[in-house]
């Protein structure tokens, strides 16, 4: 689905993207999952969507861990080179906070017999799709960290400092975007 259609879904509240994701999950289910879905009123599909979302967030967390290692190296080298500015430190702080938010994010719904109530597949899929969209921003962030790392390796400190300022605003934007995820979940009471 192209970016314009995704934007339309977000603005209009249309669940077209959700339906597409649900269909993908259901098409990958085996016979036992289909039987489980029938007997438990769709619990198996909800569990599959939930696990797909968890796997996606785990991959984001691993990406952040790798980027953090690189950024720590850049930060230490910048300190040794005498660069001033709190951009390097702020990126690390926000990156750490965001990593932990992603790592400890809500799974999405209560268990089969939990008293909190039931969340429908559409709502779970909406959170999975939100996490997928977040991945686009993460890829951009990851490429920027790699670019700064190349500048650091060539000891181009002017470029490193300038790009660190940009990266600071980018990581803050990512953090704010992730905070929107909480609003998505709270909207349906999870």
pTM above 0.85, yes or no: no
Mean local confidence (pLDDT), 115-119: 52
Please indicate whether residue 166 or residue 16 has the higher confidence score (pLDDT).
166
Of 5-9, 133-137, 154-158, the least confident: 5-9
Please indicate whether residue 181 or residue 114 has the higher confidence score (pLDDT).
181
Q: Inform me whether the pLDDT recorded for 17 exceeds 60.
A: no
Q: Inform me whether the pLDDT recorded for 114 exceeds 70.
A: no
Query: pLDDT-derived band of residue 40, with 50, 70 and 90 as boundaries?
Result: low
Q: Inform me whether the pLDDT recorded for 102 exceeds 50.
A: yes
Condensed to tens digits (0 to 9), the pLDDT of residues 147-170 reads 999 999 999 999 999 999 999 999
Q: Inform me whether the pLDDT recorded for 80 exceeds 50.
A: yes
Q: Inform me whether the pLDDT recorded for 129 exceeds 80.
A: yes
What single string gives the DSSP state of each residue in the chain?
Answer: --HHHHHHHHHH---HHHHHHHHHHHHT--HHHHHHHHHTTSHHHHHHHHHHHHHHHHHHHHHHHHHHHHHHHHHHHHHHTT---SHHHHHHHHHHHHHHHHHT---SS--TT-TT----HHHHHHHHHHHHHHHHHHHHHHHHHHHHHHHHHTT-HHHHHHHHHHHHHHHHHHHHHHHHHHHHHHHTT-
Residue 75: predicted pLDDT: 93
């Amino acid at each position: 689905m192209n970016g314009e259609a995704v934007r339309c879904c977000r603005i209009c509240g249309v669940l077209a993207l959700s339906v597409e994701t649900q269909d993908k999950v259901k098409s990958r289910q085996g016979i036992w999952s289909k039987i489980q879905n029938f007997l438990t009123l769709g619990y198996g599909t909800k569990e599959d969507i939930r696990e797909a979302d968890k796997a996606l967030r785990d991959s984001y967390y691993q990406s952040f861990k790798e980027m953090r290692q690189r950024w720590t190296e850049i930060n230490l080298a910048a300190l040794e080179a005498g660069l001033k500015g709190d951009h390097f430190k702020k990126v690390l702080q926000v990156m750490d906070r965001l990593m932990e938010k992603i790592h400890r994010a809500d799974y999405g719904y209560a268990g089969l017999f939990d008293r909190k109530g039931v969340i429908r597949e559409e709502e779970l899929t909406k959170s999975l799709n939100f996490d997928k969209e977040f991945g686009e921003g993460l890829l951009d962030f990851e490429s920027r960290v790699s670019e700064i790392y190349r500048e650091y390796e060539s000891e181009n400190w002017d470029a490193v400092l300038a790009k660190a300022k940009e990266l600071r605003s980018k990581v803050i934007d990512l953090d704010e975007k992730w905070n929107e995820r909480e609003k998505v979940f709270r909207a349906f009471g999870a």
